[in-house]
Amino acid sequence: MTRRSKEFTEAPPEEDSPETELRRAEAAYDVQVRTDLPRNFVAHLFHGLFGQTGFRLLNAPTFLPAYLYLLTGSEFSIGIVRSAQAVGMFLSPILGATIIDHRKRVLPVGFVVGGSMRLSILGIALVGFFLPVEWAVPAISALMLVFGFFMGMQGVIFSFLMSKVIPVDRRGFLLGLRNFLAGLTASGVAYLGGRYLVEPNVLGNGYATTFLLAFVLTSFGLAMLLAIREPEPPRVRDPASVRDRLRELPELLRSDRAFTLYFVARALATMGRMAVPFYFVYAGREIGISGQSLAILTPSFLLANSATNLLWGWIADRTGFRLVFLMSIGLWIVAALLMMASSDTLGFAIAFFGLGAGLGGFMMSAQNMVLEFGERETLPLRIAVANSTSELVGAIGPLLGAGIAIVWNHEVLFCVAIAFQLASIAVVLLFVDEPRARPPRLSEAEPLS
């Protein structure tokens, strides 16, 4: 064979196309996710177990509202503090998305943001121990604003991290199991806090001692994430400013009508949360505010997550989070109606169980349904816009709720909240299909052989 003929018969093979290379990289990425899944599953489980146990002591509609009402005797102070938290959560998600959407690893940022949240909780505990009453509510409001600011960033960062390390068909089970265990521990801690910290006024301020316990538990939960192995995706976005990301929002919303209507429905249901800070105040007026009532109603609210989140997760893995969204809001409505019809401790305990189950299912579905719209590269921005919209509504809701309760009464407030929840159900039923039924994104498509 001549040299010339050999050149024609041994031509080099064609290079793979960029699309083929990307699909192969995505396939390798998926293999790494599945390989590290057991380790990351356990780390997320214990992070949520200890973290949620602590955070629920602060976010439950019992301890903090009861403490504020004890300090001021005013429902408006409850609305101000919860609105301050929601304002912080509204301001920061876009910033959080901008910080992480060009990074291949987001966990280091998560540690900084998570640590800042926990320092805010420590500050609230120290306020209770050391500041006089006249300074306590302004200081708590400021700290809840800071807490909400970092919580808004955390919502984007850790939701995106979840989407990277936990496959979509395993998220429901993880969230259900995590919330189940966290509900058990949080209920036990809440009972002990109400009975043995608040009632005997441990360390001179039982509420502050409870918040100090929340700081310790949440800090331990954050440390669990040291075990996470975070994969690096094949592609990320170019860095951009917050202003540039905001300019992308109109096109993002126009390009995906189902996603836009989803976060409208989520915002409507979030407006229904205007009543949440006042559930215990209403119950307290009927059966009395005391350490004993805290020790009964708080575990009822928190145990609901233990009893129902495994069910919510099971439903989500099999049918998607849309059905969980609808069912949980419906249960929330029924429980609120039952509460208005109750007149004794047993009736309120059952109602609080239903409220906890419904609110827990709503939070699970609202925060995770967003992970199933669009491409991975734009996911941080989608999470951010959905969270910001919800928290803008959440900032208005408690103040509006306080005004309705003061001008009219709690029953009117609860009925207004139910109207918003019914509107949310209608939007999802009529306009938002299950996102898992849509064509797969490139990152989830079948790899080329």
User: What digits encode the pLDDT tens for the residues 358-390?
Assistant: 988 898 888 888 877 767 677 788 888 887 877
Return d(Cα 159, Cα 345) in angstroms, integer.
37
Averaged pLDDT, 227-232:
87
What's the pLDDT score for residue 219? 93
Asked whether residue 227 carries a pLDDT value surpassing 60, the answer given is yes
Q: What is the pLDDT of residue 1?
A: 47
Which residue would you say has higher pLDDT here, 302 or 308? 308
Q: For residue 310, what pLDDT band results from cuts at 50, 70 and 90?
A: confident
The pLDDT of residue 442 = 44
Report the alpha-carbon distance of residue 295 to residue 348 in Å, rounded.
13
**Token match 């265990």: residue?**
181
Q: Please indicate whether residue 115 or residue 177 has the higher confidence score (pLDDT).
A: 115
Q: What is the pLDDT of residue 290?
A: 60
pLDDT at 6 over 50: no
The whole-number average pLDDT for the span 317-339 is 91
Question: What string of H, E and C letters represents the secondary structure of 232-294?
Answer: CCCCCCCCCCHHHHHHHHHHHHHHCHHHHHHHHHHHHHHHHHHHHHHHHHHHHHHHCCCHHHH
Cβ atoms of residues 63 and 125 within 8 Å: no
| Domain covering 31-229+242-437: architecture | Up-down Bundle (1.20)
pTM: 0.72
Pick 255 or 210 by higher pLDDT: 210
From residue 427, alpha-carbon distances to 180, 264, 306, 368, 434 in Å are 29, 8, 29, 18, 13
Backbone angles phi, psi at 129, to 5 degrees: -80, -35
pLDDT, tens digit, 9 for 90 and up, residues 92-110: 888 888 888 888 888 999 9
The residue-averaged pLDDT of 42-56 equals 87
Q: Residue 410 and residue 408: Cα distance in Å, rounded?
A: 7
Q: Is the dihedral of CA 334, 340, 342, 345 positive or negative?
A: positive
Buried b / exposed e across 257-274, counting CB within 10 Å, b at 16+? eebbbbbbbbbbbbbbbb
Ranked by mean pLDDT, the top range of 3-17, 201-215, 412-426 is: 412-426
> Who contacts 71 (Cβ-Cβ below 8 Å, separation ≥6)?
77, 133, 136, 137
Answer yes or no: is pLDDT of 184 > 70. yes
Domains in the chain: boundaries: 31-229+242-437
Of 302, 284, 301, 285, which Cα lies nearest the Cα of 293?
Answer: 284
Q: What is d(CA 366, CA 127) in angstroms, rounded to the nearest whole number?
A: 33
Averaged pLDDT score across all residues of the chain: 81
How far is Cα 222 from Cα 216, in angstroms, rounded to an integer? 10
Q: For residue 84, what are the contacts with CB-CB under 8 A and spacing of at least 6? A: 141, 142, 144, 145, 148
CB 61 within 8 A of CB 276: yes
